Amino acid sequence: MSSPAPGAAPRRADGPGRRRRRTPVRTAGLIGAVLALAFTGAVTGVAAPAGEEPVQAAGLREVMFVGNNWDGTADVIEASGDFERIGRVDVIPDRRQRMTEIHLNPIRLIALLTIRHTVGEGHDQFVDDMYATPDGSAMVVSRPSFADVVSIDIETGRINWRFPVGGFRSDHMAVSPDGTRVAVSASTANRVHVLDIRTGEQVGSFATGDRPHENVFTADGRYLWNMAIGDVNNAFDAPELDFAKGDRRITVVDARTFEQVRSIDMRRRLDAFGRRDLSDSVRPVAFTPDESTLYFQVSFFNGFLEYDVAADRITRVATLPENPETDPDRTTWVNDSRHHGLSMSPDGAHLCVAGTMDDYAAVVDRETLRPGPLVPADKPYWATVSGDGSACVISESGSDQVTAIDFATGREVATVAVGDHPQRVRLARIPAGWDGPGGA
């Protein structure tokens, strides 16, 4: 296979709209046993036909989708500048129907409650990830608590299609470079589904490690990388119990045949690098523009690592500041995260890091791996790049806002209020005159 492409932290004072949400619930016993028996895989898919060129319809505008996980909405904001909010989409218009189905099925009800009281921190998870179709007519959304992916008409707010994933929870997604396919992690089925983004039909799937999480297509669309993070909801969080977290690995597949071409177990690479103390649960990642180097975060660590893709080895580690107010008890860290959110400037000169449990974000110089100013942020959960490439955009899930940080200066440049518990933020294109479903 050719090299697949792709001091103390300040804390914001609590104020109106700022809420501490730091007590994850660990569920075991009967619920865990039932779910362990119930988790099943999905039907293996077939190879996709050759992709079509992306549709660049006239009259589209670039925006950002912000998924508000706990209230089941997605805000649409400007992709640069002041990041003003343009409109909002209800991504659970079928909530009553889905909830009725779940309550009539004891196994699915147990799954819903387990998600609510573990990964959901006491809340249902209604939107994890979202993308636009190439023509801008629809928003495609993964809905964890409903274990599905839906396409929602951006003009009417109605559901175009729905795809139930294997198992009981849907998670991170990725869209192919040509815009025709969307990959979604079925986190309890240990499988990734690849769907036709316009029809919702499955064109392929592949097996992963335990609890598949982030998906990344290489820039040429040839490969698809999946990071399996293992069980982040059990209480075996001490370093000596790391083995109890399950099968954590990166799975790389051919994006047309869905055959595995590479499996990367970071445990061996971390040990060879002299970091036996670090978890091998790979969280958010970022490739360099030439896709020769991968940067990645791991569970429980305030920092990230650098991995040479061709040489298959870890080359550097960046340890970022700890917030002295962060509870040292690892079982209180949300879903085993310490830092969760990583993006890279288009020129490859800077990385942007969301220091989730340490309540800050920082722009890091890629040459020196030194952070710039620590920007106070309330449980930042994701980091992406603005439409013009000048800023890193983070979601502040603890204060229900999105904040932009200038790559050049490392300083905050804009903040916009969004819905309840924003997580994923994605660039998208929608009709130029859109201001909400039905013009609302």
Domain-embedded: residue 25: no
pLDDT at 242: 81
Domain-embedded: residue 41: no
Domain-embedded: residue 145: yes
pLDDT at 102: 98
**8 A C-beta contact, residue 154 and residue 170:** no
Domain-embedded: residue 31: no
**8 A C-beta contact, residue 153 and residue 99:** no
pLDDT at 58: 65
pLDDT at 57: 54
**8 A C-beta contact, residue 315 and residue 258:** no
Determine the structural domain holding residue 167 and report its residue range.
60-439
Residue in this structure with the two tokens 């979202």, named with its chain if needed? 130
Residues 45-77, buried b or exposed e (16+ Cβ, 10 A)? Answer: beebeebeebbeeeebbbbbbbbbbbbbbbbbb
Domain-embedded: residue 46: no
Q: What does the pLDDT profile of the chain (440 residues) look like in tens digits? A: 444 444 444 444 343 334 444 444 444 333 343 333 343 333 333 333 333 333 445 699 999 999 999 999 999 999 999 999 999 999 999 999 999 999 999 999 999 999 999 999 999 999 999 999 999 999 999 999 999 999 999 999 999 999 999 999 999 999 999 999 999 999 999 999 999 999 999 999 999 999 999 999 999 999 999 999 999 888 877 888 888 889 999 999 999 999 999 999 999 999 999 999 999 999 999 999 999 999 999 999 999 999 999 999 999 999 999 999 999 998 899 999 999 999 999 999 999 999 999 999 999 999 999 999 999 999 999 999 999 999 999 999 999 999 999 999 999 999 999 999 999 999 999 999 999 997 44
**8 A C-beta contact, residue 45 and residue 395:** no
Domain-embedded: residue 304: yes
CA angle (190 as vertex; 3, 237 as ends), nearest 5 = 95
> How many residues are listed for the chain in this entry?
440
CA angle (30 as vertex; 27, 32 as ends), nearest 5 = 50
Give the amino acid at 48. Answer: A
Q: Which residues pair with 60 in a beta bridge?
A: 431
Whole-angstrom distance, CA of residue 128 vs CA of residue 173: 8
Q: Report the CATH number that the domain containing residue 344 is assigned in CATH.
A: 2.130.10.10
CA angle (154 as vertex; 436, 45 as ends), nearest 5 = 150
What is the number of structural domains in the chain?
1
Which two structure tokens, joined as six digits, stand for 263? 């499996």
**8 A C-beta contact, residue 114 and residue 144:** no
Domain-embedded: residue 4: no
Give the amino acid at 57. Answer: A
Domain-embedded: residue 39: no
Which two structure tokens, joined as six digits, stand for 357? 């449990």
**8 A C-beta contact, residue 380 and residue 354:** yes
Can you give the pTM of this predicted structure? 0.88
| Close Cβ partners of 47 (under 8 Å, ≥ 6 residues apart) | 203, 204, 256, 257, 258
Three-state secondary structure call for residue 194: strand
Number of Cβ within 10 Å of residue 121's Cβ equals 19
